[in-house]
Structure 1
């Protein structure tokens, strides 16, 4: 018998929008919250497992970037696409109060408030990608176009 996975807020928002997705659990390693660990746990290509980063620009304020898990964001490119001269990742202590999510469980869908969102253009290379379902240990598998639509994201180059 299949174990019932409880729905997260992200899943409820996708249900409401009638978006097709799959909830995929994985084993959490508290010492390794990296997307690389998640991809290995899922047995998936790391290029299809995307991480959600929250940044702050000096002009635009907060914004979100979603990139394949093994890559580092190029802060100059992120600043440029978001209309800033410079930007930085937010301090970890700001993540939960700002988004409602913790590190390793941050999803581009369902944050406390919507922030401008940018997704790396490689997402369109795949029929489906993974992003966090809003908690550690659970990923959402969905079509990149659905993620783009639901997170009201712009496609761009971020590394």
Structure 2
């Protein structure tokens, strides 16, 4: 497995400190973020999942703890929209250039508005997908927000 991806290259360019962690990805896992947390020996709240959504039919990216559910109402409001829905997996792959299970908020093919769950800011470090299945980056949540040019707001139910 390559430890260099578009996501890790984007983080390097941003100048924020991070470490790279690999784990055995389980394609049959019911919830990929929770499987990643277990494989990494991390608390599920420290492993953030990257969700590609449509807000008023426009792509956006929401980053939330893997043990929480995204509130579509809060996501729509965060991006100044009226409604939000999950992006279809094939559309998410086309928009980001990453495969589902390996989508990162860093280094996406086309930059989209991004938001990170505010509660994650209280943690010293978080894991976020590093741009391929089985690869996570660990960094301070404030640095993640800076590198992704993300807004920080409440996104979960």
Same fold (TM over 0.5): yes
What's the counterpart of residue 33 of structure 2?
A: 35
Structure 1, unmatched stretches of 5+, are none
Quote the offset at 1:5 in angstroms. 5.3
What's the counterpart of residue 69 of structure 1?
A: 66
Structure 2, unmatched stretches of 5+, are none
After superposition, the CA RMSD in angstroms is: 1.4
TM-score after normalising by structure 1 = 0.93
Contact 2:3 2:20 in 1 (8 A): no
Higher Rg: 1
Any residues of structure 2 matched to 1:4-153 within 5 Å, and which?
6-32=3-29, 34-58=32-56, 61-153=58-150
- SS of 1:114's partner is coil
d(CA) in 2 for partners of 1:146, 1:157: 18
- 1:47-79 residue CA offsets vs partner (Å, 9 max, x unmatched): 0100001111226x1111000001110101111
d(CA) in 1 for partners of 2:10, 2:87: 25
TM-score after normalising by structure 2 = 0.94
